[in-house]
Structure 1
């Protein structure tokens, strides 16, 4: 890992909060992700399952966490099973966690090697009534690959069919959506790295550069600041490419007079940031481009003020839609007849702003959170309105990451990243 060690207090407290929500006489199991193959002997870079990381800090493959708060044997109330390291692994892959290092990382004292897992699991499964399994219930999940967690769950349910089964997901959805100060500091660090990347490219972009060259500039800055790279697939979309919401080819040349939409942000210690800025390739916005840009920025600023404890996610998006409708009328993109005759299920503004304004953010870019429950203090949300005009050859989106405060307006973690049109132009022409 490139990141600095994380205070294990974070993981100790996370486990306590999870255990407090468990049923009596129950245990919960969490698995690391697989290392996924490409072909031949090639693999994708390892990405840890966010849930086992959230609860233990272990950032290593072939790891299992077991929580059993009511276990009669105190040493088995928290258990880590790890891949046993040896000299061969150390030479070919690098050192893995020792039992001592696992304790320093997680605060878990009882660490076994994986070869002992079935024996220990048999002992503790005879002492519990319910087992919590960890299924992916994120509202945007669409998983076709069988995961290590899936395989473990199949094995567990087949071997111990008489146990009751409960779900970890509802507990984690609520816990992970509300951030501790340690988590907020990690997200802020990711945002700070993103700022460095963005400032780097403001003096790099000019007519004739290629989208992939800009991607390389971001990656250079991210890596040199202890990030392992982008928090998600970067969108570097010049001209009409910006009107493709998930454009990731990044293979076109930036032309004079075009706008460049940059949805690019760094991760740090598995925590995400999520930034979007739109800049003029030539260093100056046209009057029309600036008018649309400022309209998007006004919607972003007003939407941000609505992110308060108790806010309903669906009602919030309805209110943002009203703000956007007003701006689109002012820009001449809609007229009163469009609004009067709109389909309530797909309002008129959706022609130019077809995605949501905000989502939870944290360990995942689209992080856990139950959207039917009111917003709470210390939830982190994006705010990202946009206006997309294919007929005029450009699209504009602006996005910051904010923390809901107990009182008052949210705290903007990206307040130091330039966003005002005049500031963008000033930096690009300095």
Structure 2
């Protein structure tokens, strides 16, 4: 891993919080992700399943975590199973976790090699009544590939059909959505790396530069600061490309007078940041561009203030819509007649601002969180309003990551990343 070691008290506390929510005499199993094939002997870079990482800190393939808080054998209340390492593997693939290193990483004392899994599992299953399986129930999930967790679920239900089955995901949705202080520090590091990338490109962008050249500058800065790269597929959208919400081709030349919308950010230690900024290719906004830009920034600032404990996500978006509607009237993009005749299910402002304002962020860019439950302190949300005007050839989105606090305004983890239009112009022309 490129990132520095994480204090294992985070993972110890996460396991304690999870097991406190389990049914009596139950165990839970969590699997690493597969390494996914491309073709021939090529594979995708390994990405650890966020749930096993959250509970153990183990960032390695073919790993299994078992939690059994009521187990008669104390040493079997927490168990890690790892792929056995040896000198040959170290030469060809690099050093894998030893049992000692796994303990140092996770705080779990009992570590077995993977070859012992079925034997140990049989003993554990004779002692428990319920098995927690880990299914993906995120509201945006759309998974066609059979995962390692899926295969395990089929195996355990087939081999032990008399056991009750419970779901880990509802517990994890609530736990992972509220961040520990160490997690917020890791997310702040991801945001700090993103800041370095953004400041780098402010001095790089000029007319006729290519979108992919800008993408390369971000990647350079991220890698040199211990990130493994982008937290999500980057958007570098110049001109009318900004009006395609998920434009990822990044293959066009940036023209003088146009704007570039960036939705690009670094990960650090598997934690995401999520940034959007919009800058002028020529280093100066036109009067119209600046008016729209400042309107988006005002919406973002007002929306940020509304992220407080007790807020309901759906109600929050209704209120943000009202603020955006007012700004769009001021810009001459909407009139009162359009608003009076709007469809309540698709308000008039949606013509120019068609996506949501905020989502949870953490180990996943669109992180766990139950949207029907009130917001809580130490949840982290993006704030990302935008105005998209295809007929004028540009779109603007501004986005920061903020931590909800018990009292006072949220903590903006991106407060040091330039955002005011005048500051952007000054930095680009310095």
Quote the Cα distance in structure 1 between the aligned partners of 2:103 and 2:86. 18
Instruction: Give 1:109's aligned residue.
Output: 109
Cα deviation per residue 1:397-430 (whole Å; 9 max; x = unaligned)?
0000000000111000000000000000000000
Q: Is the counterpart of residue 270 in structure 1 residue 270 in structure 2?
A: yes
Instruction: Give 1:345's aligned residue.
Output: 345
Cα deviation per residue 1:19-51 (whole Å; 9 max; x = unaligned)?
000000000000000000000000000000000
Quote the Cα distance in structure 1 between the aligned partners of 2:353 and 2:102. 47
Q: Is the counterpart of residue 70 in structure 1 residue 81 in structure 2?
A: no
Cα deviation per residue 1:164-189 (whole Å; 9 max; x = unaligned)?
00000000000000000000000000
Quote the Cα distance in structure 2 between the aligned partners of 1:190 and 1:142. 26
Cα deviation per residue 1:80-135 (whole Å; 9 max; x = unaligned)?
00000112111110010000000000000000000000000000011000000000
TM-score by length of 2: 1.00
> What does residue range 15-414 of structure 1 map to in structure 2 within 5 Å?
15-414=15-414
Quote the Cα distance in structure 1 between the aligned partners of 2:411 and 2:60. 33
- Secondary structure of the residue that 1:402 maps to in structure 2? strand
- Secondary structure of the residue that 1:141 maps to in structure 2? coil
Task: Return the offset for 1:335.
Answer: 0.5
Task: Return the offset for 1:314.
Answer: 0.1
Cα deviation per residue 1:228-263 (whole Å; 9 max; x = unaligned)?
000000000000000000000000000000000000
- Secondary structure of the residue that 2:395 maps to in structure 1? strand
- Secondary structure of the residue that 1:2 maps to in structure 2? coil
- Secondary structure of the residue that 1:65 maps to in structure 2? strand
Quote the Cα distance in structure 2 between the aligned partners of 1:380 and 1:257. 35
**Structure 1, unpaired ranges of 5+:** none
Task: Return the offset for 1:356.
Answer: 0.1
- Secondary structure of the residue that 1:406 maps to in structure 2? coil
Quote the Cα distance in structure 1 between the aligned partners of 2:125 and 2:237. 53
Quote the Cα distance in structure 1 between the aligned partners of 2:200 and 2:27. 49
Quote the Cα distance in structure 2 between the aligned partners of 1:364 and 1:390. 31
TM-score by length of 1: 1.00
- Secondary structure of the residue that 1:319 maps to in structure 2? helix
- Secondary structure of the residue that 1:48 maps to in structure 2? coil
Quote the Cα distance in structure 1 between the aligned partners of 2:387 and 2:145. 35
RMSD: 0.3
Quote the Cα distance in structure 2 between the aligned partners of 1:52 and 1:134. 10
Quote the Cα distance in structure 2 between the aligned partners of 1:152 and 1:64. 10
Quote the Cα distance in structure 2 between the aligned partners of 1:87 and 1:56. 25
- Secondary structure of the residue that 1:236 maps to in structure 2? strand
- Secondary structure of the residue that 2:363 maps to in structure 1? coil
Q: Which stretches of structure 1, 4 residues or longer, exceed 6 Å deviation after superposition? A: none
Cα deviation per residue 1:193-244 (whole Å; 9 max; x = unaligned)?
0000000000000001000000000000000000000000000000000000
Quote the Cα distance in structure 1 between the aligned partners of 2:259 and 2:95. 47
**Number of residue-to-residue matches in the alignment:** 430
- Secondary structure of the residue that 2:401 maps to in structure 1? strand
Quote the Cα distance in structure 2 between the aligned partners of 1:192 and 1:416. 8
